[in-house]
Amino acid sequence: MGAQEPCGRISPQDLGIWSDAHIETLAKTVELIYNFGAVAGIQLAHRPKS
């Protein structure tokens, strides 16, 4: 799962995509995926407000 903001994560292991600080690492991950001939994708999720 990918969360658009820190408070939207369903679990602590959810991928963060809310900050430009995430770009470099995610770009490296996508490049690795492409190098294996696959396509990167993401499932967006947001937990309901409590």
Structural domains counted in the chain: 1
Q: What does the DSSP assignment read for 1-50? A: -EESSGGG-SSTTSEE-SSGGGHHHHHHHHHHHHHTT------B--PPP-
Cα–Cα distance measured from residue 24 to residue 18, given in angstroms and rounded to the nearest whole number: 13
| Structural domain span for residue 31 | 1-50
pTM of the model: 0.63
pLDDT of residue 14: 76
CB 30 within 8 A of CB 17: no
pLDDT tens per residue across all 50 residues of the chain: 566 667 767 777 777 788 898 889 999 999 999 999 999 988 877 667 66
